[in-house]
């Protein structure tokens, strides 16, 4: 007899319907899976065989063929275990049920229990889109699956319980959302601004950056607090909207990085990859394209500590996603697009020894090395950075001053107010913050009063700024004005924005 069970494949961040067709015929015992399965899907044979046997059912000793249709779509991962098992049980007439309106996903253990499965969230979204009312998931995925409303989640912890349900022996265990607050802890090693002494101008620059989603580079000698300052950003950034939280959770769900006790990621991601990271690790890739660090920092911060050490070619690969806010990974058979709308924060020393330009210590780098070091970061890359700030070393008096500075909370409330103004401004568009404005929006939204225009004109002429710099200064000016709740950009807003321009370093 032939049985058909519905499941889904993941293509990037989107789900795609897959039919699992199972045919059992008499002949020499065999169990084959066709339809472009990868190694993990092939191994499903062993898991399914043991799980069926250990769930009180019989594994048919006949010729079994499983076809995953459409046959030209690659299938990866262990989520096909459950639909294959259900297909075999239906086909061998051990259960009789109409499963045409139900989608099944789940990885099986040898003992028949259902394990946590990656990428459940996009698959629930798909079943809603395709009008499938029911979705059977592993019990541990139920909270994550229930984030998208409109589909009935039927969670099971074992194949044997599912078999009883399909035989009509037990009712459907519908998922009841728990009342517990769905909050995840912010990443560890996060610092409150209050504990960072001095560096007021850097804190201000980070506040402006957080308010408008601008990219930042911090430069200064070793031990001046660059890493510390960058790690204070997550506490200044405003909380994510529900929509943003869902987007981020989808990416983590597909990457298998969603903690089991955190169904919804509410804190903005803060990713800090080491400079030895590979190209694929940074921007995404692999045989089955997976999101890289830039997508894992979507809606949050990508912190590149020791920026020049990342090397020229790695930084160049960031140029396109920094501009487009998405990354497309092409493979021979298909291409997938992942979102990558992140705030880039870089920290660097001015030279390999770290003391070039330091008023108190002599730089020991040989001539030529400093400029070679700084040239590892190309002009076009620097051009995409809105705020460039120097972090000098802190003196004794400031470090030993016991008075606590302003807490991150206060900065965050100002940032949040500025972000609300931006959300209102960009209502109806896909933009969220000022840094995303294109020249058209800059023209529409960045009106400056006359003295401000004169200042900008003088700066353009004297500093020989490029067209991109012109737009960047206006965007920054808009953010600084938003922090002051001002409708029109004034001269002092632009004066501050001009200060943040990337300097020619050597
Ligand atoms: N402004 C500051 N207030 C309080 N502590 C500070 C400050 N600056 C630095 N420190 C202390 O110095 C340590 C080193 O700072 P941090 O790692 O941020 O320096 P860095 O600028 O990143 O140096 P490097 O260039 O070597 O990476 C911090 O862990 C912190 O204890
Ligand atoms: Mg550091």
Closest CA to 274 of 301, 295, 293: 293
Backbone angles phi, psi at 5, to 5 degrees: -130, 140
Residue identifier of the C-alpha nearest atom 1 of ligand 1 = 197
Structure confidence at residue 183 (pLDDT): 56
Structure confidence at residue 180 (pLDDT): 53
Tokens of 27: 């002949």
pLDDT tens digits, one per residue of 35-84: 989 888 999 999 999 999 999 999 999 999 999 999 988 898 899 999 99
Neighbouring CB atoms inside 10 A of 87's CB total 28
- In angstroms, rounded to a whole number, what is the distance separating the alpha carbons of residues 155 and 98? 18
Helix/strand/coil for 326: strand
- In angstroms, rounded to a whole number, what is the distance separating the alpha carbons of residues 303 and 300? 10
**205 vs 239, 350, 383, 387, 421, CA distance in Å?**
19, 19, 17, 7, 19
Tokens of 329: 């990974």
The most distant pair of C-alpha atoms in the chain lies apart, rounded to whole Å, by 89
E strand map for 40-151: 63-69, 102-104, 107-108, 114-115, 134-138
Residue identifier of the C-alpha nearest atom 4 of ligand 1 = 196
- In angstroms, rounded to a whole number, what is the distance separating the alpha carbons of residues 125 and 446? 38
pLDDT tens digits, one per residue of 424-476: 999 988 888 999 999 899 999 998 999 999 999 998 898 888 888 889 999 99
For residue 225, the ligand 1 atom closest to its alpha carbon is 18
- In angstroms, rounded to a whole number, what is the distance separating the alpha carbons of residues 107 and 156? 12
For residue 199, the ligand 1 atom closest to its alpha carbon is 1
Closest CA to 478 of 426, 407, 402: 426
Instruction: List strands edge to edge, sheet with 343-348.
Output: 270-271, 301-305, 343-348, 216-219, 387-390
**92 vs 62, 85, 89, 241, CA distance in Å?**
10, 11, 5, 48
Helical segments of 183-324, H only = 200-212, 226-230, 233-236, 242-255, 279-283, 293-296, 312-324
Helix (H) or strand (E) holding 90: helix 81-91
Is 56 close to ligand 1, i.e. is its CB under 6 Å away? no
Which burial class, exposed, middle or buried, applies to 360 when counting CB atoms under 10 A from its CB (0-12, 13-18, 19+)?
A: exposed
Please say whether the beta carbons of 66 and 32 come within 8 A.
Answer: yes
> What is the CA(221)–ligand 1 centre distance, in A?
10
Check: pTM over 0.85? Answer yes or no. Answer: yes
Q: What secondary structure, in 3-state letters, does 429-483 show?
A: CCCCCHHHCCHHHHHHHCCECHHHHHHHHHHHHHHCCCHHHHHHHHHHHHHHHHH
Structure confidence at residue 186 (pLDDT): 57
Q: Is the N-terminal amide bond of 148 cis, ω within 30° of 0?
A: no
Structure confidence at residue 123 (pLDDT): 94
Is 191 close to ligand 1, i.e. is its CB under 6 Å away? no
CB-facing half-sphere around the CA of 111: CA atoms within 13 A: 3
> What is the CA(306)–ligand 1 centre distance, in A?
13
Closest CA to 13 of 116, 105, 118, 115: 118
Question: Cα torsion for 363, 367, 368, 370, to the nearest 10°?
Answer: 0
> What is the CA(200)–ligand 2 centre distance, in A?
18
> What is the CA(221)–ligand 2 centre distance, in A?
9
Structure confidence at residue 492 (pLDDT): 95
Tokens of 94: 């051990």
Q: To test the ligand 1 pocket, which listed residue (223, 230, 401) has its Cβ within 8 A of the most ligand atoms?
A: 223
- Measured at the alpha carbon of residue 321, what is the angle toward residues 320 and 326, in degrees to the nearest 5? 130
Is 297 close to ligand 1, i.e. is its CB under 6 Å away? no
Question: With a cut of 70, which residues of the chain have pLDDT below it?
Answer: 177-189, 503-506
Is 194 close to ligand 1, i.e. is its CB under 6 Å away? no
């Amino acid at each position: 007899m032939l049985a058909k069970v519905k499941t889904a494949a993941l293509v990037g961040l989107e789900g795609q319907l897959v039919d699992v067709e199972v045919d059992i015929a008499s002949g020499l015992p065999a169990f084959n899976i066709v339809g472009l399965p990868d190694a993990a899907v092939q191994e499903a044979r062993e898991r399914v065989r043991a799980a069926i046997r250990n769930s009180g059912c019989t594994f048919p000793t006949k010729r079994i063929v499983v076809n995953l249709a459409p046959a030209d779509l690659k299938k990866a991962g262990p989520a096909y275990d459950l639909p294959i098992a259900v297909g075999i049980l239906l086909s061998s007439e051990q259960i009789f049920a109409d499963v045409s309106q139900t989608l099944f996903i789940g990885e099986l253990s040898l003992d028949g229990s259902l394990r946590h499965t990656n990428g459940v969230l996009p698959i629930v979204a798909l079943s809603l889109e395709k009008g499938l009312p029911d979705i059977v998931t592993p019990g541990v995925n139920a909270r994550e699956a229930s984030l998208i409303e409109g589909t009935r989640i039927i969670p099971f912890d074992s194949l044997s319980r599912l078999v009883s349900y399909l035989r009509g022996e037990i009712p459907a265990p519908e998922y009841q959302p728990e009342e517990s607050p769905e909050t995840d802890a912010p990443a560890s090693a996060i610092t409150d601004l209050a504990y960072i002494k001095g560096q007021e101008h850097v804190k201000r620059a980070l506040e402006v950056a957080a308010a408008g989603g601008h990219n930042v580079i911090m430069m200064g000698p070793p031990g001046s607090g660059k890493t510390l300052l960058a790690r204070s950003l997550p506490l200044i950034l405003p909380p994510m909207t529900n929509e943003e939280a869902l987007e981020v959770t989808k990416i983590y769900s597909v990457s298998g990085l969603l903690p089991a006790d955190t169904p919804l990621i509410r804190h903005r991601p803060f990713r800090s990859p080491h400079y030895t990271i590979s190209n694929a690790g940074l921007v995404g890739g692999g045989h089955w394209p997976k999101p890289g660090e830039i997508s894992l920092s979507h809606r949050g911060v990508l912190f590149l500590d020791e920026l020049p050490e990342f090397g020229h070619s790695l930084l160049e690969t960031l140029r396109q996603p920094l501009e487009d806010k998405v990354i497309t990974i092409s493979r021979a058979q298909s291409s997938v697009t992942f979102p990558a709308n992140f705030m880039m924060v870089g920290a660097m020393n001015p030279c390999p020894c770290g003391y070039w330009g330091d008023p108190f210590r002599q730089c020991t780098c040989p001539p030529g090395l400093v400029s070679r070091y700084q040239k590892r970061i190309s002009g076009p890359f620097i051009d995409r950075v809105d705020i460039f700030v120097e972090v000098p070393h802190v003196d004794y008096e400031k470090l030993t001053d016991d008075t606590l500075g302003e807490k991150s909370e206060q900065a965050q409330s100002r940032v949040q107010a500025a972000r609300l103004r931006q959300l209102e401004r960009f209502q109806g568009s896909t933009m969220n913050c000022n840094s995303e404005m294109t020249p058209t929006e800059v023209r529409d939204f960045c009106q400056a009063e006359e003295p401000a225009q004169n200042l900008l004109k003088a700066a353009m002429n004297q500093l020989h700024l490029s067209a991109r710099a012109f737009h960047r200064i206006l965007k920054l000016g808009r953010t600084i004005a938003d922090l002051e709740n001002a409708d029109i950009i004034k001269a002092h807003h632009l004066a501050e924005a001009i200060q943040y321009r990337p300097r020619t370093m050597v």
